[in-house]
Amino acid sequence: MFGKPGAGKGTLSSRLVKKYDLLSISTGDLLRQQIQDGTEVGKQAEEIMARGGLVPDELMLRIVTDKLDTLHDKHWILDGFPRTLRQGQLLEAHLQSRGTPLTLVVNINVPDEVIISRISDRWVHIPSGRVYNTSYNPPRVAGYDDVTGEPLARRADDDPETFTRRLQAFYNSTNPLLEYYGALANQEVVTTENVHQHPHQLLLDRPDKLVVRTVTGSTSDIIWPDLDRIITTMFPTLTPRASGPEGAQNTTPLAGVVAASEAAAATSSLK
Ligand code: AP5
Ligand code: MG
């Protein structure tokens, strides 16, 4: 899931996780959690994020692949990674070595002026990454998370000055990365026959070519149906979740990831 800061990557990923049996990993949420926990990674990332810069590529790759390597038999979304050409190349090399090349890049394209007005209304529940907006998707009780009842916070990097720098960082890294994926999409992708795969991976319906799609719009009425159509067309066997209203918001992407890690640990302990 690719897009400007504030484009709605987190919001749309949450809707997909709520509707389908898949998991989402947001690098921004992972970093904010590391900062909150006071880890070494958190200490390194805190100052960079506060000024709207980008955390070093190799560190980001390690954070992401540590998570991905636990998700053998799952469909997943990456929200906010890769965001530099180098990250794209490192990710591709890693996924190819695992026999699970990337299948879909969705570029969520929202006009800058729409995004800037949204950011001043954004509130987040830092431990889960749940995102609210006082006008678009307000919490049931103002200032408090719907699920835990804990207080919501403004993100430290959502002040107008830092946000402008994040937008600039996006523009600096966007074109090379999108061109890279455009070129990959025109190449034949290594198929399941010529790469060793974990047995679980063979259960996934995996398109054999990378697809790049751009969804443009200012409102969820435009973006969500387009995105949903892309997902159902590309992954026809993706299972809708049994419970919960279709397309409902504010699930816990990180909780999904944690659940998957626990399931993987449980499976390996049974072997
Ligand atoms: P990260 O947390 O990923 O921030 P970002 O990319 O700047 O994106 P945001 O989370 O701000 O926006 P979003 O697209 O998720 O939008 P949202 O759904 O919240 O990264 C933060 C920092 O971490 C980076 O600056 C960097 O320092 C570091 N970092 C992270 N990944 C990195 C990497 N790979 N490499 C290096 N550094 C990295 O929506 C925004 C608002 O709009 C919300 O209030 C929402 O409710 C509202 N909204 C959403 N959709 C709609 C709609 N359709 N209509 C109306 N309102 C809507
Ligand atoms: Mg986000």
Tokens of 196: 């060793």
Contact 118 CB / ligand 1 (< 6 Å): yes
**Distance from the CA of 190 to the center of ligand 2, in angstroms?**
31
Residue 172 Cβ contacting ligand 1 at under 6 Å: no
pLDDT tens digits along 119-140: 999 999 988 899 999 988 999 9
Ligand 2 centroid distance, CA of 193 (Å): 36
Q: How far is CA 106 from CA 24, 44, 134, 141, 257, in A?
A: 14, 29, 26, 33, 20
CB neighbours (10 Å) of residue 112? 13
Closest ligand 1 atom number to CA of residue 219: 53
In the chain, at which residue ranges do the beta strands (DSSP E only) sit? 2-3, 22-26, 75-79, 104-109, 122-125, 130-133, 211-216
Contacts 24+ apart (CB under 8 A), 201-209: 201/72, 201/73, 201/99, 201/100, 203/73, 204/73, 204/75, 205/235, 205/236, 205/237, 205/238, 206/100, 206/103, 207/103, 207/104, 207/234, 207/235, 209/103, 209/185
Q: Closest-lying ligand to the alpha carbon of 51?
A: 1
pLDDT in tens, 206-215: 567 899 999 9
Total length of the chain: 271
Distance 3 CA to ligand 2 centre (A): 10
Query: Which atom belonging to ligand 1 lies closest to the Cα atom of 220?
Result: 53
Residues with catalytic roles: 9, 83, 122, 155, 166
Q: How far is CA 83 from the centre of its chain?
A: 11
- pTM beyond 0.85: no
Q: Specify the pLDDT at position 239.
A: 84
Partners of residue 25 on adjacent β-strands: 78
Nearest CA to ligand 1 atom 42: 118
Among the ranges given (5-14, 68-77, 97-106, 176-185), the one the predictor scored with the smallest mean pLDDT = 68-77
- The ligand that comes nearest to the alpha carbon of residue 78 is 1
Decide: 48 in ligand 1 pocket, CB within 6 A: yes
State residue 21's pLDDT score.
92
Q: Are 162 and 50 in contact (CB under 8 A)?
A: yes
Over residues 60-67, the mean pLDDT reads: 94
10 Cβ inside 6 Å of ligand 1: yes
Distance of CA 110 from the midpoint of ligand 1 (Å): 12
For residue 180, the CA-to-ligand 1 centroid distance in Å is 22
Summarised one tens digit per residue, pLDDT across range 12-58 is: 999 999 999 999 999 999 999 999 999 999 999 999 999 999 999 99
Residue 83 Cα: closest atom of ligand 1: 34
The terminus-to-terminus CA distance of the chain in angstroms comes to 34
